[in-house]
Chain A
Amino acid sequence: MIRTRRAAAAGPVRTRKRGRRSPLASVALVAVGLLLTGGAYTLFTASSGASAAIDLNSAQAISQGKKLFQANCATCHGLALQGTVAGPSLIGVGAAAVDFQVGTGRMPLAQDAPQAQDKPPVFDDTQTKELAAYVASVAPGPGLPSSKYLQLSGNATRGAELFRINCAMCHNVAGAGGALTEGKYAPNLNGVTPAHIYEAMLTGPQNMPVFNDANISPQDKADIITALKATQQNANVGGFDLGSLGPVAEGLFLWIFGLGAIVAFTVWLTAKAN
């Protein structure tokens, strides 16, 4: 008796639900989509950091790289790397510059902008190394960093001091990045592979100055990378860092949530009970 009544009551409710989607469904769908995209992006960028064993001097790598270059880069940089009005000459930039620009996805350029942005790389690691081999074969330049400087085994204390003196004014003391002039910016260094950090210091991509080995020695660079990774991996003692952006983010948080709570309590305190 009870069971039948319950079934009868549930019947119309169920049919109505089938006809109209819950308002939360679209929110959940968007959340799932965002999670999938973000997850795929993380996987993609993480996999690009793996280094493939390729001999940069092998004739095969150079000829493969030449083909890739002619098909993908020569429009702006010229068939002989001499540069055009659309892009700078690549003579003497070396394998390190190619590995950084192509490996972080900055090249090929997606659009004309104040500066090239890092994005999922177009070429896989082998293709990137082949391009680097070709560019390095045309004229000598800074080579790929030796893996012994990328092991995060340097002196983090010394590296942090060098970072504060040479890098922190643009990249923020925690490596969170910062604004430059006219839409340019120093990128966030969190999640950048040690090899790419090393190559950026060595070659000075875009508006970043060059820090050659006479200025910051290879061991100094290894120390800086060690310090950066230590900063990013150590648990933050102070709680939420709010992007490590300093007083701007912290002030905004306090103004909105701190003052908001005070205003809300004041309104409640002075309101009459009904």
Chain B
Amino acid sequence: MANQESTEVVPAGRAAASSGTAVERSDAFQNPGLPPHRPRVTDSDPKAAKHAERAIVALFYVSIVGAVFAMAAYFAFPIHADDLASVRLNNLFLGLGLSLALLAIGVGAVHWGKVLMADHEGVDIRHPIRGDQKTRARAVEIIDLANVESGFGRRTLIRNSMIAAIAVLPFPAIFLFRDLAPASGTPAEAYSHTMWKKGSRLTKDPSGVPIKASDVTIGSVFHVIPEGLNDAPDMLEEKAKAAVLLMRLDPADLHPSKGRESWAYDGIVAYSKICTHVGCPVALYEQQTHHLLCPCHQSQFDITREAEVIFGPAKRPLPQLPISVDSQGYLVAQSDFHEPVGPSFWERRGDYNV
């Protein structure tokens, strides 16, 4: 019966296709129909049925054991306020007991259904999605009646003003997004400048202790924040832009381009720690190869060649912070970065170097 219905549907579909495009395949897949019904062992062998029954009962008893174990574990492994590690045992055994209880009920119920409940095989054919003519006509009738009674099609002024009200409603949300940008200036402005300015000392992260040039021995790496960052009102935002990595190389290893010769001090160079790809902190410095590795996407920068990208998805070199020393021997910035730090953004100008 079911098979007959399904074979009727197929020719109907074929007839719908254009005769010009329909290709009759000679090796088309034939519906094999249902496999023959196979009786289960538990249907024919009463011993097997008895065995299955015992297994299902055992599973439900296992579930009871799990639940009781969970209750016992709650008291056997209490959480002590002064010992965080006690949470681990408590959670572990409570979870094991409860999952055993739930799992055993589920497995038992499914096993029961599979081996002991009646074994009828049936096929439910999907009914067509399209309703019959009578149902469709009745639906149109209802919509027409609603239109007439509500006056939705007749009172066009009311209808159009309502559509306009709904259309305008989302606009405040767009304006609320403005709160994500800095309060003063455009976001592009905020991205383009950092806390560094002429004369601000390079200090150690997190203590804020200024760094003497003589303290930076060859092979050293200092994680640097600008002077006064710890007291800044928006400290984290500023740190996310102004973080700098300070390294000292043999001056002979550096290859500064024209106009940037004075940006380093006796082999000490400072580069932005914010990756130009998507802004991860780049600080995996190898002191023999002078390569900087970004841990997020494996971009590599060559410090001897002004942090040019030698591998990975980053497109621009890390911006260099021009540095010198003040009269007391402390390292200071000559200016802010000459280009925006970090990843690209729409309004980013490429000519900050000028």
Contacts and interface: CB of A to CB of B under 8 A. Distances in A.
Nearest to B113: A273
B286 A274 contact: no
Contacts of B283: 169
A114 to B, nearest CB: 10
Number of chain A interface residues as a range: 20 to 34
Contact of B286 (A181, A210, A215, A237): A181
A53 interface: no
Contacts of A274: 38, 40-41
Interface in B209-247: 211-212, 215-223, 247
Interface in B97-122: 110, 114-115
Contacts of A212: 215, 217, 220
B205 A165 contact: yes
A239 B88 contact: yes
Contact of A239 (B84, B92, B205, B287): B92
Contact of B284 (A180, A214, A238, A273): A180
Contact of A207 (B84, B205, B288): B288
Contact of A169 (B41, B204, B295): B295
Given A181-B300, A184-B286, A214-B215, A209 B220 contact: yes
B66 interface: no
Nearest to B115: A273
Given A170-B284, A181-B291, A184-B286, A237 B88 contact: yes
A162 B284 CA distance: 15
B293 interface: yes
Given A237-B88, A269-B110, A207 B220 contact: no
A235 B212 contact: no
Contact of A235 (B88, B215, B217): B88
Interface string B112-144: 001100000000000000000000000000000
B180 to A, nearest CB: 27
Given A161-B206, A169-B295, A236 B284 contact: no
Interface in A136-189: 161-162, 165-166, 169-170, 178, 180-181, 184, 186
Interface in A64-100: none
B300 A215 contact: no
A263 interface: no
A208 interface: yes
Q: Which of A161, A234, A235 has the most CB of B within 10 A?
A: A235
Contacts of A180: 284, 286, 293
Given A181-B293, A237-B85, A210 B287 contact: yes
Contacts of B115: 273
Contacts of A170: 284
Interface string A181-208: 1001010000000000000000010111
Contacts of A123: none
Contacts of B216: 214-215
Given A184-B286, A209-B221, A237 B84 contact: yes
Contacts of A166: 221, 223
Q: Which of B42, B216, B219, B289 has the most CB of A within 10 A?
A: B219
B85 A235 contact: yes
Contacts of A181: 286, 289, 291, 293, 300, 311
B278 interface: no
A184 B285 CA distance: 12
Nearest to B110: A269
Interface in B228-277: 247
Contacts of A184: 286
Contacts of A186: 284
A33 B283 CA distance: 43
Contacts of A208: 287
B145 interface: no
A181 to B, nearest CB: 5
B158 interface: no
A165 B287 contact: no
Contact of B87 (A169, A214, A237, A269): A237
B47 to A, nearest CB: 15
Contacts of A178: 295
A5 B195 CA distance: 96
Contact of A215 (B91, B206, B220, B287): B220
B281 interface: yes
**3 closest pairs, A vs B, by CB?**
A214-B215, A235-B85, A209-B221
Interface of A: 161-162, 165-166, 169-170, 178, 180-181, 184, 186, 204, 206-212, 214-215, 234-239, 268-269, 272-274
11 contacts: A165-B205, A169-B283, A180-B293, A181-B300, A206-B288, A209-B287, A210-B217, A215-B204, A235-B85, A236-B85, A273-B115
Given A161-B206, A235-B88, 20 more contacts: A165-B205, A170-B284, A181-B286, A207-B286, A207-B288, A209-B221, A210-B217, A210-B218, A210-B220, A210-B287, A212-B217, A214-B212, A214-B215, A237-B85, A239-B88, A239-B91, A272-B38, A273-B114, A274-B40, A274-B41
